[in-house]
């Protein structure tokens, strides 16, 4: 299931506009902060779907019954571009464990590339709710490669993918390759990809804008 959270009018649109806009996006601190705020909004929306339980809370004047998340998810992020969004997700799921995965485009030619996954640091992820954040879903290949690599360490009970901007091609691939218990939460769904598989209109390279241009 794909949740196009930005299709409804909200403050999310302001944050999306600012991470896209030339001039504004050159402010790295503001760019990272807006990615964090987008992640917070997406996290709040997905939290409504998580299994919950009723907790009795003793107050100074009595007992209150509150609905709380039944079990904490595992928060995954894809290095390095995903780090800014991860902070926003972690701010909302502040009791959750975190996991980190490296994935990058390994170019065999200017036109072709493969996704390489080379590193993961994670707690026990078996039979847990997985929340995987990455600011851009272009082809979707990185997300699929990461998911398949994670299966060597465990099987999720649910999968939630969070992204600021997605291309239709990525969403179709994820629907095909990820399990049926996957929900995808995006700030915006853009037109498509250019010849180098970058999202149009997109925003450029999220990792470079957040942390500097790679050499």
What domains can you pick out in the chain, each with its CATH number? 2-211 (3.40.50.2020)
The encoded tokens of residue 181 equal 């218990």
pLDDT score for 108? 52
**Higher confidence at residue 117 or residue 37?**
37
Look at residues 208, 82, 188 and name the one whose alpha carbon lies nearest to residue 135. Answer: 82
Section 66-77 average pLDDT: 95
- pLDDT over threshold 90, residue 196: no
pLDDT score for 112? 47
Split at pLDDT 50, 70, 90, the class of 57 is very high
Split at pLDDT 50, 70, 90, the class of 115 is low
pLDDT score for 116? 66
- pLDDT over threshold 80, residue 142: yes
- pLDDT over threshold 60, residue 114: no
- pLDDT over threshold 50, residue 129: yes
Split at pLDDT 50, 70, 90, the class of 12 is very high
Q: φ and ψ at 83, to 5 degrees?
A: -60, -40
Say how many CA atoms lie within 13 Å of 182 toward its Cβ: 19
- pLDDT over threshold 90, residue 141: no
pLDDT score for 110? 43
Split at pLDDT 50, 70, 90, the class of 168 is very high
pLDDT score for 211? 92
The encoded tokens of residue 81 equal 């571009």
């Amino acid at each position: 299931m794909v949740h196009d959270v930005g299709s409804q009018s909200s403050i999310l649109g302001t944050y999306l506009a600012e991470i896209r806009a030339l001039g504004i996006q050159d402010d790295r601190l503001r760019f990272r902060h807006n990615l964090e705020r987008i992640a917070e909004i997406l996290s709040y929306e997905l939290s409504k779907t998580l299994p919950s339980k009723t907790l009795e809370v003793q107050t100074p004047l009595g007992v209150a019954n509150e609905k709380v998340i039944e079990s904490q998810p595992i928060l995954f992020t894809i290095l390095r571009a995903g780090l800014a969004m991860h902070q926003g997700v972690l701010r909302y799921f502040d009791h959750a464990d975190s996991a980190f995965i490296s994935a990058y485009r390994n170019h065999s030619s200017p036109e072709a590339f493969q996704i390489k996954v080379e590193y993961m640091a994670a707690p026990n992820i078996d039979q847990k709710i997985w929340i995987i954040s990455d600011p851009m879903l272009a082809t979707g290949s990185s997300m699929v490669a990461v998911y398949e690599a994670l299966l060597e360490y465990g099987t999720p009970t649910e999968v939630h993918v969070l992204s600021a901007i997605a291309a239709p091609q990525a969403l179709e691939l994820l629907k095909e390759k990820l399990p049926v218990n996957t929900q995808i939460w995006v700030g915006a769904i853009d037109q498509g990809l250019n010849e180098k598989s970058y999202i149009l209109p997109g925003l450029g390279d999220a990792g470079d804008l957040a942390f500097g241009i790679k050499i």
